[in-house]
Amino acid sequence: MHTAWQYLTVAGAAFTAGTLNAIAGGGTLVSFPALLGIGLTGQQANVTSTLALWPGSVGGFIGHRGDLKGTRSFALRLMPPSLGGALVGAGLMLATPASTFNLLIPWLILTATLLMAANDPIQRFLGAHPGGERSRAWWVGAVGFQFLVGVYGGFFGAGIGILMLAALSLLGLSDIHQMNGLKNFLSLSINGIAILCFLAGEAVFRAHNIVWSAAAVMAAAAMAGGLFGSHMAHRVGRRTVRVIVILVGFVLTAWYFHKVHG
């Protein structure tokens, strides 16, 4: 049983995460550590955060669904490896011993932070080198890469968007709105499959990784944060927000490395 103060803490973190995701991304770097901070295990924090933030992602996808126009062939080819990878990743997460997952926490946060830091350079590269038509070999490579993105997304997931933007550019997409629309669709699918696996783990294997009371509070707060962030997106610089999130990520990485390995 958690205290009212702890619920307020995770609700505030979820609101902040929803706002960050609407503006620049990186919300998991706030919600995940907040859940660890109130005493959840690494796996509980990972699963509960993924479940709580997913409704906000649905809202973001609906708001940008028009950007999917013209991406049907890409979606049809990249959906199977996305779903298959997410299934494998979520299964690996559920099968990972709690002690091992806890040792991975600083590495997972570091990976997500580095992906956030890579976003702007990769965006500039994509703008300067728009993709062209690619051969069958490129498609095979893209499908394999997307499978790995799905595995990472099912296991932890923070930062998968920038990986997909880079891959989509190499496949020939150059319209950033189309790329973002397809990225949102595939991210939503990966997280959706992961959540289904986590729910199955609760029902079949009695995993006890979902803290339902915290997830419910956070879901409501994250949706409110997403609405707030959508209004603030044009008033607050994405670059400023991203820099703040990256700095927070590096501080958290150092803290958890000290805590786990110190």
The distance between the two most distant Cα atoms of the chain, rounded to a whole number of Å, is 57
Q: What are the b/e assignments for 110-139, b being 16+ CB within 10 Å?
A: bbbbebbbbbeeeeeebeeeebeeeeeebe
- DSSP letter string, 6-28: HHHHHHHHHHHHHHHHHHTS-TH
| 89 has pLDDT over 60 | yes
pLDDT tens-digit profile of 12-21? 999 998 888 8
pTM (predicted TM-score): 0.85
Task: Indicate left, alpha or beta for 70 from its phi (over 0: left) and psi (-120 to 50: alpha).
Answer: left
pLDDT tens-digit profile of 45-67? 999 999 999 887 777 677 667 87
Tokens of 60: 């973001």
Structural domains in the chain (count): 1
- Range(s) of the domain holding residue 93: 4-261
